[in-house]
Structure 1
Amino acid sequence: MRFCPCFGSEEAKGVADRDPVLLVSGMGGSIVNSKPKKFGFTTRVWVRLLLADVEFRNKIWSLYNPQTGYTETLDKKSEIVVPDDDHGLYAIDILDPSWFTKCIHLTEVYHFHDMIDMLVGCGYNKGTTLFGYGYDFRQSNRIGKVMEGLKSKLETAHKASGGRKVNLISHSMGGIMISCFMSLYRDVFTKYVNKWICLACPFQGAPGCINDSLLTGLEFVDGFQSYFFVKRWTMHQLLVECPSIYEMLANPYYEWKKQPEILVWRKHTKDGDNNINLESYGPTQSISLFEEALRDNEVNYKGKTISLPFNFDILDWAVETRQLIANAKLPDGVCFYNIYGTSLDTPFDVWYVTKLLFRKKKVHL
C-alpha cells in the first residue's frame, strides 16, 4: 500500500479515513461481455482489437423492444453483461485489457486508468474508498437495471467506508444517467451522496456527435488506430437501436447561444434545371432528416435481413427521459461541480457536402 500526506493510518486498519469515491463512466466507457445463457466461454465484445468487428456483429447487434424499454441482443443464445471485478473498477480501467494492448500501451483504451492510479497513489483503497460503476451503454439512462445497479453500488460504497457519504465522479453520458437517478431516487441520492463532480457531461445533449452517430455511425478512435476497432458502419447499426443515443439528442427547449444545426448541400431538379441548395435542420426539424436518411437502412444478420429505420418508439421514450432530466433537482446539502473544456473544438453542427449524401461528412464548427 502506498502512502501520501493525505492518507491516514486508519484506513490501513480497515477503517475509512475519507469519503469514498465512485467513478461512473460515459457512453462506451465500460467493458461489455457476451455471456452464454447455458454453456460456453464469455467473450469481450467491447472494447477489443482482434476480431473486433466480427464479434461485435455476432454478439452485440441488437433490436429495441418497445414493450420492455430494453435493447435486446439478436444473439438469443447469449446475454450482454458488464464485469464487476475489482469493485467495479476493472470494467472502466483499461477497456481492452488484453496482453497485446498492454504491450503496445494503446492509450486510446486506457480510460479511467490514470485517475484510478492517481487516487490509489493518494491513499484511496479499492473496495473501501474507491469503486467504479460500468454499465451497458446500449440501454436507456433511466432503465431499471442501470438504476438498480447504481443504487446497489452506492449502498456498497457507503457501507464499506463505514457509513460515509459518497463522492460521485461522472464522465460524459454518465452525468445524464446520474441525473435520471437523482430524479427517480431522490431520497436514496440524498442519503448516500456528498459531492457530485461532472466531467464534460452533455446535460442538454451532444448535438454534433449524436447527429452524426445517427446518420453515419461513430468511431471512438480516430486516425490509423480506428482500423483495428469496430468499424463506423458496424457501430452505426447498433446505435440506431440504442435509447442512450436518442436521449443525447439536442434539447430543443434549451436556450442555445447558437442553435445546433445539420447543414446539408442537396441537389434538386426542376424543369430540367439542377440547383444545389444548402439546407438547415435544427433539433426539431432534424427528425424528418433522420427518418429520410434511415428509411432503407438494414443489416444482414446470419442470413436474415433486418430493417433498421429511425426508431420513433425510442424517440418517444427519449422524450420522457428528457423530461425526467429537466425535473431533476440537486438535494440540499449535496455539492455539485460541473467541469468542462472551452478551448478544444467539439462537433456542434454537422455539415454534409458530398453527392453521396450521409456517407461522408465535414464537421462545421
Structure 2
Amino acid sequence: MAMFLEDIVRSVELWLNLIKKPQPYVDPSLDPVLLVPGIAGSILKAVDKDSGGKEERVWVRILAADYTCRTKLWSRFDPQTGRSVTLDPKTNIVVPDDRYGLHAIDVLDPDMIIGRDCVYYFHDMIVEMIKWGFQEGKTLFGFGYDFRQSNRLPETLECLAKKLESVYKASGGKKINIISHSMGGLLVKCFMSLHSDIFEKYVKNWIAIAAPFRGAPGFVTSTFLNGMSFVEGWEQNFFISKWSMHQLLIECPSIYELMACPHFHWQHVPVLEIWREKKDNDGNSQIILESYPPEESIQVFKDALSSNTVVYDGEDLPLPFNFDILKWADETQNVLSRAKVPPGVKFYNIYGIDLETPHSVW
C-alpha cells in the first residue's frame, strides 16, 4: 500500500512538472538597469506610529482615496529642513522596497481590476525587459521615492546612493543603466550634480525619457490654478479629487522645482495667458488676453492662492503660494544648472517637441 501511494505521489509530481510554466529566459550578460519614475509614480504607504508600524497604502488606491489623501498625505513645508511634513503627526510615509524596488513603480494600485491600465507605470516596460532576459534582483531594479519631496532632499539622495551600490554588488560589479521618466530626470540630475563621484563610479548609461530639465510650466500652471488629475475619463471617479490633489501639491517642493527655469534663454518663452474682463472709461466691458512670462506668472499664482485654505482636524489652515518653497526651488535650479555628465557616462535624452508639456512619450 505504501509503495502504491509513493507511485501516485511520483506520478502527480511528474504531472505537475509537465504543466509548470517554463522558466523565463535569463541573459546573464546583460548590464543591470535601474528604473526611476516621475511625479506620482511611486506607491506610498502610511505607517501608523501608534499601532506598532501598521501600514496602509495611501497612493494609489480606489476605496476612500480622497479621504486618505486628506488625512494621510496632506503636508506642510518646513523651510529649515526642506521637507514636506505630513500633517498627521502619527503618520510616517514610506515607499515599499519589495521586488528589489520594482513593486512600488510597477502597478500603482495592485488591487484595481477594471481599468487597471490607468495605474500601470513601468509595468509594460518591466514585462518586456523580462522577456529580453532581464532578471529581477540581478539585472532589473526600481527606485521609488516620496514624490512630494524636493528632488535634492538629502534623505532621498542618500537612499539613491545606497540603491546604486546595492545594484552594483547584486549584479557582480557591473555598471548600471539608469532609465528615468519625467521628474525622475530631475532627481537623477540633482544626484549627479551633488554626488558626481558616486554617479561616475556606478553608472554606465543614463536614459532620460520626457524629463522637464527646464521646467514643466504647463503642468505647474494647471496645478496651481486648477488642481491636477493624473487620469482622464471615467477613471477619475476612483481617484483623488482635483481639489484634494491641488491642496497637497501646493506644499510640495517638487512642484515648485518644475516651474519654468528663470535663467534659461528660451527659444519660445513659455507664457501664462489669461482672458480678463475689463471696462473702459465709459463703463463698456471688453475681453482682453493678458500674457505673463515665467517670472511675472508668480504674481498671478500669489493672487489666485491668497485666500486658499483647508480644514484639517477642525482647524482652518492657510495654504497660499509658498515663497519659502520658491526660494528652496530656486537653489534646486542652481544645483541643476551646475550638473555635468561625467566623462565615463553616456547620456541619452528622449523628449517630445510639442510646445505643450509632454505627459508621455510613445
Deviation at 1:346, TM superposition (A): 3.4
Match of 1:330 in 2: 341
5+ residue gaps in structure 1? 12-16, 349-365
Shift of 1:302: 1.8
Q: Distance in 2 between matches of 1:290 and 1:105?
A: 35
- Cα distance in 1 between the residues matched to 2:277 and 2:355: 30
Distance 1:288 1:95, change over 3 A: same
> Counterpart in 1 of 2:24?
2
- 1:297-329 Cα shifts (integer Å, max 9, x gaps): 000012110000000000000000001000000
For 1:340 and 1:144, locate their aligned partners in 2 and report how far apart those are by CA, in whole Å.
Answer: 28
> Could you say what secondary structure the match of 2:50 adopts?
coil
The change in CA–CA distance for 1:109 and 1:345 in structure 2 (over 3 A counts) is farther
Partner of 2:142: 132
Number of residues of Structure 1 aligned to a counterpart in Structure 2: 334
The range that moved more, 188-197 or 256-265, is 256-265
CA distances 1:135-157 after superposition (whole Å, capped 9, x unpaired): 00000000011101110110000
1:197-216 per-position Cα deviation (integer Å, ceiling 9, x unaligned): 01100000011111111111
- Matches of 1:66 and 1:191, distance apart in 2: 32
Equivalent residues of 2:77, 2:85 under 8 A apart? yes
The whole-number CA distance in structure 2 between the counterparts of 1:285 and 1:138 is 25
What does residue 22 of structure 1 align with?
A: 34
1:293 aligns with 2:315: no
Match of 1:31 in 2: 43
* Equivalent position amino acid for 1:330 in 2: V
Question: For 1:120, which of 109, 130, 133 is the aligned residue?
Answer: 130
Deviation of 1:265 after TM superposition, in Å, equals 1.1
Counterpart residue number, 1:237: 247
Q: In the TM superposition, what are the counterparts of 1:209-358 in structure 2 within 5 Å?
A: 209-269=219-279, 271=281, 272-342=283-353, 346-347=356-357
Deviations 1:264-314 (A, max 9, x none): 111234654434321111111001001100000000012110000000000
Q: TM-score under structure 1 normalisation?
A: 0.89
Identity %: 51
Q: Which residue of 1 aligns with 2:3?
A: none
With over 3 angstroms needed to count, the CA separation of the structure-2 counterparts of 1:254 and 1:200, relative to structure 1, is same
Q: Are the aligned partners of 2:115 and 2:235 in contact in 1 as well (CA < 8 Å)? A: no
Cα deviation digits, residues 98-149 of structure 1 (max 9, x gap): 1xx1x32521101100111111111111111111000000000000111011
Alignment partners' CA distance in 1, 2:118 and 2:154: 30
Distance 1:51 1:250 in 2: 34
Partner of 1:147: 157
| Structure 2, gaps ≥5 residues long | 1-22
CA distance in 1, matches of 2:50, 2:139: 36
SS of match in other structure, 2:349: strand
Structure 1 counterpart of 2:126, one-letter code: I
Aligned-residue RMSD, C-alpha: 1.4
Q: CA deviation at 1:77?
A: 0.7
Instruction: Quote the offset at 1:38 in angstroms.
Output: 2.7
Structure with greater helix percent: 2
